[in-house]
Amino acid sequence: MTAPGNIGATPQGSASAQARLQYVLRLADTSLILGQQLTGWIGHAPALEEDLGLANVSLDLVGQARLLLAYAAQLEGRGRSEDELAFLRAPADYRCVQLVTQPNGDFADTLVRQFLFDAWQRELFERLTASRDVRIVEIAAKALKEIEYHVRYSAGWLVRLGDGTEESHARAQRALDQLWPFTTELCTADELDQLMLKQGVGPDLVDVARAWSTRVDAVLGEATLRRPADRPYRWFGKRGEHGEHLGYVLADMQFLPRAYPGAAW
């Protein structure tokens, strides 16, 4: 990629700024919704260490989301805050990938979802550190170090579950089979991804997909899990095409700010 320049000087309201905003929202919403979902395990995880582990990963993700949403609000130029973007949009306006909107399920469902995501986010964010958008570079560089810890955590659990008991293996394989169709979106570039690549803002998803696939194969191999066959999936959360579960996640997340507008403490 070309050297970073101050590409934040795009005039607000222009088509180019709109595209940049949508792209940043994809990154922001993906981290936000996954972070929110992981909080559902607090107080309910199978062991205290995993309660802390999932909560810490969640905290890192929400931290990423805050930085990205603050940048999105700036790009939007309508004077909205990161909180307004987080809590007051309708489901169809979120640009998170479908994978992170899938239900927590059991521990295997959550950790399989987490690993498939972490391995992808790691490749994506590593390449984003070479973006022409200076702010994206800063946020990605900051988050990348934390993501390395996330990958190690979730990959470790995938191996323990897969190469564990008959029960843990069966649950992990079932989770993998059910979540695999949502990985199509992670690895498929749409028009916005292609535009960002052309502008030097976003990476080539073919490259990301290849690296992701290599790591996934390595971990699944060690976990004695079978890689499911690809099943092309049409709906992309990054285009605002969501299943019903996002509605439940947002109802939980947005209730308080919507019920008490402007509440602060």
Partner 1 sequence: MLDPEIPVISVVDLGIVRSVELAADGTLEVSVSPTYSGCPATEVIRAQIGAALERAGLAKHRVRDVLSPPWTSDWITEVGRAQLLEYGIAPPSAPVASPRRLLNDAPVACPRCSSKDTERVSEFGSTPCKSLRRCRACREPFEHFKCI
* Site residues for partner 1 per CB under 8 A: 35, 49-50, 52-53, 55-64, 66-67, 137-139, 141-143, 145-146, 149, 152-153, 156
Sequence-distant (6+) residues with CB within 8 A of 160 are 168
Which parts of 173-254 are beta strand (E)?
none
Nearer to partner 1, 4 or 228 (CB): 4
Query: Among candidates 261, 47, 24, 247, which has minimal Cα distance to 134?
Result: 24
The set of long-range contacts for 228-236, using a CB threshold of 8 Å and a minimum separation of 24, is 228/176, 228/177, 228/180, 230/180, 230/184, 231/180, 231/181, 231/184, 232/184, 233/98, 233/181, 233/182, 233/184, 233/185, 235/98, 235/185, 236/97, 236/98, 236/185, 236/188, 236/190
Sequence-distant (6+) residues with CB within 8 A of 27 are 64, 68, 136
In the complex, minimum distance from the CB of residue 219 to partner 1, in angstroms, rounded to a whole number: 16
User: What residue has token string 């929400």?
Assistant: 62
In the complex, minimum distance from the CB of residue 216 to partner 1, in angstroms, rounded to a whole number: 20
Nearer to partner 1, 111 or 205 (CB): 111
In the complex, minimum distance from the CB of residue 54 to partner 1, in angstroms, rounded to a whole number: 8
φ and ψ of 6, to 5 deg: -80, 85
Q: Find how far residue 13's CA is from the centre of its chain.
A: 26
In the complex, minimum distance from the CB of residue 115 to partner 1, in angstroms, rounded to a whole number: 14
Nearer to partner 1, 44 or 145 (CB): 145
In the complex, minimum distance from the CB of residue 146 to partner 1, in angstroms, rounded to a whole number: 6
Report which DSSP code applies to 53.
Answer: H
In the complex, minimum distance from the CB of residue 227 to partner 1, in angstroms, rounded to a whole number: 25
φ and ψ of 122, to 5 deg: -65, -45
Nearer to partner 1, 19 or 32 (CB): 32
Distance CA 1, CA 203 (A): 8
In the complex, minimum distance from the CB of residue 47 to partner 1, in angstroms, rounded to a whole number: 9
In the complex, minimum distance from the CB of residue 16 to partner 1, in angstroms, rounded to a whole number: 23
Nearer to partner 1, 70 or 187 (CB): 70
Degrees to nearest 5, angle at CA 233 with 229 and 235? 160
Nearer to partner 1, 1 or 141 (CB): 141
Within 10 A of 46 (CB to CB), how many other CB atoms are there?
Answer: 10
Nearer to partner 1, 37 or 58 (CB): 58
Nearer to partner 1, 149 or 235 (CB): 149
